[in-house]
């Protein structure tokens, strides 16, 4: 639609169509429509231009619309430092920082307070993949069959009177079950005969 909308804008506006109706029809903002019209007039695209001819001319108009990103230039020299701060160092037993804490350290150490913002820093870290290193793989502990423990956490009742608090509250408990609690071969219950 980016290539069809400017051509449609040009044709409709050269034929004196009301801009308000046209804006509602294409669902663009008024400033966007005006920007397209201005760019098309500056490019001198003829009214007979087809959709096949237009993309080449329109690409030249819309690519320069990218704004400069000076904050990335300020942060680029510190990529390795930022990566080390966020990831940490396992050999030295240095735990990684959260991006906000790393930003405060880099900002204060290198005097970036007025030059770039935390939002730009977050975008820089995300685009460069610097926060991916901070994700640690899950360590799985393998155990012998029957040696596992099941731990449940839950509510043990409604509001109870708790003496140490001096009032009522909800009681929660952690329940741990191990295979050793339940023997595999149960002896027969006395007086019940043979149970298999």
CA distance 79 to 125: 9
CA distance 183 to 194: 18
Q: Do residues 157 and 112 both lie within one domain?
A: no
- Residue 182 in this model has a pLDDT that exceeds 70: no
CA distance 85 to 103: 9
pLDDT in tens, 117-155: 888 888 888 888 887 544 556 677 777 766 676 677 677
Query: Which range has the top average pLDDT, 14-23, 49-58, 91-100, 130-139?
Result: 91-100
Q: Is residue 140 part of a domain?
A: no
- Residue 43 in this model has a pLDDT that exceeds 80: no
Q: Is residue 176 part of a domain?
A: yes
Query: Which range has the top average pLDDT, 64-73, 75-84, 165-174?
Result: 75-84
Integer angstrom CA distances of residue 159 from 39, 53, 65, 96, 175:
70, 75, 63, 41, 19
Q: Is residue 25 part of a domain?
A: yes
Please report the pLDDT score of residue 104 as a whole number: 92
Q: Do residues 94 and 122 both lie within one domain?
A: yes
Q: Do residues 107 and 74 both lie within one domain?
A: yes
Q: Is residue 196 part of a domain?
A: no
State the average pLDDT for the chain. Answer: 70
Residue matched to tokens 């050999």: 91
- Residue 92 in this model has a pLDDT that exceeds 60: yes
Domain housing 45: 4-65
**What DSSP designation does 67 have?**
P
Per-residue pLDDT, averaged over 26-47, amounts to 72
How many domains does the chain divide into? 3
Cβ neighbourhood burial of 165 (10 Å; 0-12, 13-18, 19+): exposed
- Residue 6 in this model has a pLDDT that exceeds 60: no
Do residues 183 and 146 touch, judged by C-beta distance below 8 A? no
Q: Do residues 79 and 59 both lie within one domain?
A: no
Residue scoring higher pLDDT (17 or 140): 140
Listed residues 45, 65, 85: the one ending a domain: 65
Q: Is residue 79 part of a domain?
A: yes
CA distance 61 to 74: 28
Q: Is residue 189 part of a domain?
A: no
Q: Do residues 20 and 50 both lie within one domain?
A: yes
Q: Do residues 48 and 88 both lie within one domain?
A: no
Q: Do residues 77 and 125 both lie within one domain?
A: yes
CA distance 190 to 184: 18
Range of lowest pLDDT (15-19, 68-72, 77-81, 151-155): 15-19
């Amino acid at each position: 639609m980016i290539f069809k909308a400017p051509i449609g804008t040009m044709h409709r506006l050269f034929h004196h169509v009301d801009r308000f109706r046209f804006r509602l029809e294409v669902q663009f903002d008024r400033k966007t429509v005006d920007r397209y019209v201005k760019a098309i007039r500056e490019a001198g695209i003829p009214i007979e231009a087809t959709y096949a001819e237009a993309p080449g001319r329109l690409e030249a108009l819309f690519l320069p619309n990218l704004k400069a990103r000076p904050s990335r230039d300020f942060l680029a020299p510190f990529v390795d430092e930022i990566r080390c701060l966020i990831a940490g160092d396992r050999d030295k037993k240095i735990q990684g920082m959260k991006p906000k804490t790393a930003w405060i350290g880099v900002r204060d150490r290198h005097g970036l307070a007025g030059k770039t913002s935390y939002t730009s820093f977050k975008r820089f870290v995300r685009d460069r993949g610097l926060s991916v290193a901070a994700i640690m793989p899950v360590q799985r502990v393998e155990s012998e069959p029957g040696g596992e423990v099941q731990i449940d956490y839950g509510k043990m009742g409604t509001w109870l009177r708790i003496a140490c608090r001096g009032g009522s509250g909800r009681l929660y408990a952690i329940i741990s079950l191990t295979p050793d609690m339940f023997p595999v071969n149960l002896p027969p219950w006395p007086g019940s005969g043979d149970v298999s």
